[in-house]
Amino acid sequence: MKQKGFPTFAVILLVIGAVWLLSELSIIKIISIPWVPVVLLIIAIGMLYNHYTKA
């Protein structure tokens, strides 16, 4: 089964993860955002909730 559309959310998560990794490795310097994992968890929980309540 082929899905339609561009995986925008996946690309956004990849970019966030790559920037976060480069920041942790001190390759790039950005403002420290310690709550990024919490934001990602909230987004994921929201997506799961929407998926299972649309049944």
Taking the whole predicted model, whether its pTM rises above 0.75 is answered as: no
- Distance from chain centroid for Cα 36: 9
Give the tens place of pLDDT for each residue, 10-54.
677 777 777 777 777 888 777 666 777 777 777 777 877 877 787
Band of the pLDDT at 7, cuts 50, 70, 90?
Answer: low
